[in-house]
Amino acid sequence: MELVQFGCIKRVTLPEDWLADPALNTALMTMRSYHPRAHDDVEITFFRKLQGLRAEEIEKFRTFLDLPMHKIAEGSSELLELTPVLGNAGNNQWSNRKRGAAGPNFRFTSAETIFIEDRLVLQVKGSFIEPETKKAINEYCGLFFDSGAEKNSVEEAYLQVPSHYGYFQFERYLKVFMDAVFSIEWA
């Protein structure tokens, strides 16, 4: 199965035994999600926010992507500067120090830049959590990429697996996800 012409992605190959969910298009975003036959609560999603970032936010992201491949340190100023780019994953323990219901809903575990085809992208891993109990809900791996010089938007491809499936099931689906994203051809 392939996803064709989605934002800055020309083509990406997904597992043949996965199913496509109905496309979601609103005035604010476009989303295409896929899930394996066995688990309709596991998803690989391609997401485009149709509103761009502020000029200074996209410039920081572009400057970041111009650096050589590297890991991002937990709590670093670099991570905090990328918060607007990260969407929901930006509400993490480093950017939101509140407790209780107003606390972060994402537990950041790692971030680094990697090459997909010939393009440097940001990869972020962590868990979406219930802010009050800190109990993990979904395990997450997301890739963030610049949509192009004429736009101020960042596109995202991500994997989410319910935490109750456990670490080994997440790792199994992570391999499927990475195989798919390494097949991306950029537009």
Collapse the DSSP code of 23 into the 3-class scheme (helix H, G, I; strand E, B; otherwise coil) and give the result: coil
Q: How confident is the model at residue 52 (pLDDT cuts 50, 70, 90)?
A: confident
Residues in the chain: 187
Structure tokens at 126: 């962590």
pLDDT category of residue 149 using cuts at 50, 70 and 90: low
Q: Cα torsion at 78, 186, 28, 160 (round to 10°)? A: -70
Q: How far apart (Å, rounded) are the C-alpha atoms in residues 50 and 130?
A: 28
Cα 157 from Cα 46, distance rounded (Å): 4
pTM metric for this prediction: 0.94
- Cβ(88)–Cβ(37) under 8 Å? no
Q: How far apart are CA 111 and CA 74, in angstroms?
A: 8
Average pLDDT over residues 107-123: 96
Residue 26 pLDDT greater than 80, yes or no: yes
Question: For residue 151, is pLDDT > 80?
Answer: no
- Please check the confidence at residue 29 and state whether its pLDDT lies above 90: yes
Average pLDDT over residues 72-96: 92
